[in-house]
Amino acid sequence: MSILVDKNTRLLVQGITGKSGASHTKLCMEYGTHVVAGVTPGRGGEVFEGKVPVFDTSHEARQQTGCNATMIFVPPAGAADSILEAVDAGIELVICITEGIPVLDMMKVKAAMAKSKSRLIGPNCPGIITPGACKIGIMPGYIHKEGKVGVVSRSGTLTYEAVWQLSSRGHGQSTCVGIGGDPINGTSHLDVVKMFNDDPGTEAFIMIGEIGGTAEEEAAEWIGKNCKKPVAAFIAGATAPPGRRMGHAGAIVSGGKGTAQGKIEAIQAAGIEVASTPADMADALIRRMAR
């Protein structure tokens, strides 16, 4: 089992003819992802890699191919419109890789999506992978292994580190979800935690967070009250000075809220095993699973 994506996912790529879009689409196809369409305005009628039709709009792609997920590699200035176009076309899962989308644009997207049935992952995220079935994003596929451990993270790099540790220790993954590090995103830690909790194919999971916001505390509180599966966590940014953004746009401690220590205390209070360093993430989960 898995969450969000599987072998039946039919993927559209918005921005498929751009340098990054083309490169990562090829890698997704090589992994086995069923890419059924691409969109680049003005280039409708072309064929990508000899088999993927390119359309001018997401509406055409949806009507012609029945795509139910989209991966967005559109530059920041047009990415929000691309998200909204996909939502308007009725595409169920929207995964936006683009970094640097203006906050005001994302506020408009967030408001519009509240009235839709689509789910947004990202922006500024590595994407989603269900090992052995479907890879949508920029993650290195070879480090993943089929299994029963879920991973949800704000950081792409830390996701890869956790996955490599898990795979090296013989623990494969059910699904890995990179939710992105921007202050306004489409899917939260809590959203994914609930999915992992309900998924019979996920027997344990790792939650990776960082300074800024209260998403990790909210997820931890829910886990403490509702989740019986083993959970481990890591919070990045323990040495970050207050008021300074660290890496991600959403990684900033402001007004005394969102500190690493505050998050760690909330997570520990929920009975979650906390990794002391990035190198300890998989071992923290293994310790928790052994109890």
Which candidate, 159, 119, 123, places its Cα nearest to that of 250? Answer: 123
Euclidean distance between CA atoms 64 and 269, whole angstroms:
51
> Catalytic annotation on 248?
yes
The one-character DSSP state at 237 is -
DSSP per-residue codes, 8-39: T-EEEEETTTSHHHHHHHHHHHHHT-EEEEEE
CA 57 to chain centre: 24
Provide the CA 148 distance to its chain's centre, in angstroms: 17
Q: Considering the candidates 24, 144, 171, 248, report the single residue annotated as catalytic.
A: 248
Q: For residues 239 and 284, is the Cβ–Cβ distance under 8 A?
A: no
Helix (H) or strand (E) run with residue 94 in it: strand 93-96
- Taking Cα atoms as reference points, which of 90, 80, 123 lies closest to residue 12? 90
Dihedral (CA of 95, 99, 104, 105) sign: negative
Closest listed residue to residue 80, CA positions, set 65, 94, 90: 94
Which residues form the catalytic set?
248
